[in-house]
Each structure stands twice: as structure tokens, then as C-alpha cells.
């Protein structure tokens, strides 16, 4: 399925929507296979408890292990939302209603072989939804308000670009291998597959999510979605006071928080900020105690990175270095 054939009417009816379930699916993939500094920091923060949960629930682990193959993600993780404005629980209920037989068939197709006995028993769809529910509860729920603001700010910037540059420019910016080819053809990947013709009355959604990966999803023959990386993830989105963060934690700790846009060692922070080594260490201890950063040893170094609270503090401030403008420029993924 290298391209989708999309009519003018369908493109005109397509919508940008926020999906908490897709944000959760992206988080699952980052726990399993992080692919950049931000997703590695997210995985490092949650992977230990995630693995403990999988050890306790082997059926959930089996679902997870059969949900990917190179270049492919299972449909139960990527099925399009049924509409805009749904809660995570409402979206999760849709997966439950798909049923065991549907989820098992999807896992067999994705994995390319028979399933283990543990997935042949009743409850496969429940195991899948419980896996997502755990990730939502333990990794995303407390941070969802901030994430949702960032996702909606991205949609505002996309629709503004649509008004000034048209659909071709917007579609070209939705991630790797996305391109409007003309004659109603939207490239969705580089595979040499026949084009799929989308019906005029189909639903087509464009869904932002955190992380750098891009993928598509469908529920044939009626619903299709393109999932793309959010831009400006650390941008200011709601008009906070310019120096609010600095007033709260001080200029030096603000500089450190803003510099920690990825896992960094104390030595790297000294080089990037110009602050003395002892001062950096003292401020990091305070930020660690306040829950705004995490740390973990990596070889001979100790790496620090922001927690979701630290991300939220940086995202809500606007001073120098607070992030890229929430517009056409690509920002930093807030994982």
C-alpha cells in the first residue's frame, strides 16, 4: 500500500484529531524500541516497571511480542479513532469490542505465524487493552493535560499552514515518506504495492503524536488515519509569563532544565551552560529532589534528563531557549 487514492471530496472532509489511545500506542513502541534521545529517556524512566508488569502478566507480553515486525505495526495498536473528542476509555472500549477473534487474527498476520497457546484462550482482546491501560495509567495519565495542549497547538499550526500553503505543503510535512504526488495520490510509504482507492464517504484522520516515527492505520473499508510526529513539543502554547519559570526556580536551575532536552552528563552540562562543575552538581541535586529530573548511570557517566514535570515547567515558559515556535519548524519530542 504505497499510495492512497484520495478524492477532492474526501480530502475536504478529512480532519485533524487528537487521540489519547494513539498517544498511548506510540508510548508502547517507545518503551519497546526507543529510537532517539527523548524516547530513550522515556524508556529509561518507565522500562523497569513495564518489564515487571509483563513478567507478572505473560499473556500481555505475548500480545506485545506479536505486535511488530520490521516495517509493520499491528492493527489493534494503529486502528483509527472512531471520531474526534473521545476519551482514552472510550477509545479503549472500541478495541475491546473488536473481540478476541479479530485481535488474534491481527496478531497472526503481523507476526506471520501461529500464536502461542496462551493467546488461544479467551481474553486476548482484554490482554491487549489491559496492556494499553497500564501504560496510560503509569506513564501518561498524569502528563496528559500538557501533552494534549501540545498536540492541539500542532493542529492549530497545521490548519494555519493549510490556509496559506494548501494541502500539498501540509501533507509533505507529515513525516518521512509522506508526499502529495498529484492526481489524487498520497504517498504513505515507499513499498512497491498497489494504490488503494479510498471511498468518497470514508473517514480520513490526521493524528499528531509524540515521537519521531510515522505510520498509518486503517479499519477497512471505511476508516483511515495518518499518524505523524508533533512539532514544537516544547513550545509555549498558552501565553504564560515570560520569566515565570525563572522566578520559580531561579536563573541557574532554569538554564539547566532548558538545557536538559535530552540525557546529558554533568560534564556535558558544564560545557553547554558554562556553569562551574560544583554549581551544576548542587543544582541538579535540588532539581532531582523536586522531581523535575531523573538520573541513571550509563557506563562511567551519570545521565540526567527531565521528567514530565520538568517538561511541563519548560513548556509553560517562554524565555530564551524555551523551545521552537509552535509553527512550521520542527520541535523536540517531549518523551
Q: Look at residue 23 in the predicted model and tell me its pLDDT.
A: 97
Q: Look at residue 164 in the predicted model and tell me its pLDDT.
A: 82
Q: Which of 308, 324, 292 is nearest to 46 (CA)?
A: 308
167 SS3 class: helix
Does 162 lie in the same domain as 66? yes
The answer to whether residue 172 sits within a structural domain is yes
Predicted TM-score (pTM) of the model is: 0.70
CATH classification at residue 278: 1.10.10.10
* 124 close to 58: Cβ distance less than 8 angstroms: no
Q: Look at residue 324 in the predicted model and tell me its pLDDT.
A: 28
Entry field: residues in the chain: 335
Does 188 lie in the same domain as 110? yes
In this prediction, residues 246-257 reach a mean pLDDT of 83
Which tens digits make up the pLDDT trace of 271-305?
888 899 999 999 999 998 888 888 887 777 888 88
Q: Look at residue 18 in the predicted model and tell me its pLDDT.
A: 95
Does 198 lie in the same domain as 156? yes
What's the whole-number average pLDDT of the chain?
84
- Kindly give the residue spans of alpha helices, DSSP state H, lying in the chain: 8-13, 20-32, 37-56, 58-65, 75-78, 88-111, 124-135, 144-165, 167-172, 244-249, 251-259, 266-273, 277-289, 308-315
Does 172 lie in the same domain as 73? yes
Q: List for the chain the helix, strand, coil content (%; round to 5).
A: 50, 15, 35
In this prediction, residues 109-138 reach a mean pLDDT of 95
Residue 326 has pLDDT above 60, yes or no: no
pLDDT band, very low/low/confident/very high, at 70 (cuts 50, 70, 90): confident
pLDDT band, very low/low/confident/very high, at 234 (cuts 50, 70, 90): very low
Does 125 lie in the same domain as 272? no
Give the count of domains, the chain. 2
Residue 227 has pLDDT above 90, yes or no: yes
* 34 close to 224: Cβ distance less than 8 angstroms: no
Does 274 lie in the same domain as 143? no
Q: What domain range is 182 assigned to?
A: 3-229
280: CB partners within 8 A, 6+ apart: 256, 266, 269, 270, 273
Q: Which residue has the higher pLDDT, 189 or 284?
A: 284
Question: First CA to last CA across the chain, in angstroms?
Answer: 30
Q: Look at residue 161 in the predicted model and tell me its pLDDT.
A: 82
Amino acid at each position: 500500500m504505497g499510495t492512497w487514492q484520495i478524492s477532492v471530496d474526501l480530502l475536504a472532509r478529512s480532519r485533524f484529531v487528537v487521540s489519547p489511545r494513539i498517544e498511548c500506542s506510540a508510548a508502547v513502541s517507545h518503551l519497546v524500541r526507543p529510537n532517539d534521545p527523548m524516547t530513550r529517556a522515556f524508556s529509561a524512566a518507565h522500562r523497569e516497571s513495564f518489564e515487571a508488569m509483563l513478567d507478572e502478566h505473560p499473556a500481555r507480553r505475548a500480545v506485545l511480542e506479536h505486535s511488530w515486525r520490521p516495517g509493520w505495526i499491528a492493527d489493534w495498536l494503529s486502528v483509527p479513532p472512531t471520531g474526534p473528542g473521545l476519551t482514552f476509555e472510550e477509545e479503549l472500549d472500541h478495541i475491546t469490542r473488536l473481540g478476541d477473534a479479530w485481535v488474534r487474527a491481527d496478531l497472526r498476520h503481523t507476526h506471520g505465524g501461529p500464536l502461542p497457546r496462551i493467546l488461544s484462550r479467551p481474553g486476548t482482546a482484554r490482554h491487549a487493552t489491559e496492556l494499553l491501560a497500564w501504560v496510560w495509567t503509569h506513564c501518561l495519565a498524569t502528563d496528559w493535560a500538557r501533552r494534549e495542549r501540545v498536540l492541539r497547538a500542532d493542529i492549530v499550526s497545521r490548519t494555519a499552514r493549510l490556509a496559506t500553503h494548501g494541502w500539498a505543503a501540509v501533507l509533505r510535512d507529515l513525516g518521512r515518506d509522506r508526499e502529495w504526488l498529484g492526481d489524487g495520490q498520497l504517498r504513505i510509504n515507499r513499498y512497491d504495492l498497489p494504490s488503494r482507492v479510498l471511498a468518497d464517504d470514508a473517514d480520513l484522520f490526521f493524528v499528531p503524536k509524540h515521537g519521531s516515527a510515522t505510520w498509518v492505520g486503517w479499519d477497512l473499508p471505511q476508516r483511515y488515519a495518518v499518524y505523524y510526529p508533533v512539532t514544537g513539543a516544547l513550545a509555549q502554547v498558552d501565553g504564560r509569563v515570560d520569566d515565570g519559570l525563572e522566578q520559580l526556580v531561579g536563573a541557574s536551575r532554569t538554564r539547566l532544565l532548558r538545557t536538559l532536552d535530552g540525557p546529558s552528563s554533568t560534564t556535558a552540562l558544564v560545557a553547554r551552560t558554562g556553569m562551574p562543575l560544583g554549581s551544576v552538581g548542587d543544582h541538579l541535586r535540588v532539581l532531582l529532589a523536586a522531581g523535575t529530573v531523573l538520573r541513571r548511570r550509563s557506563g562511567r557517566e551519570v545521565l540526567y534528563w527531565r521528567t514530565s514535570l520538568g517538561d511541563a515547567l519548560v513548556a509553560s515558559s517562554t524565555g530564551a531557549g524555551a523551545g521552537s515556535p509552535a509553527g512550521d519548524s520542527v520541535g523536540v519530542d517531549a518523551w
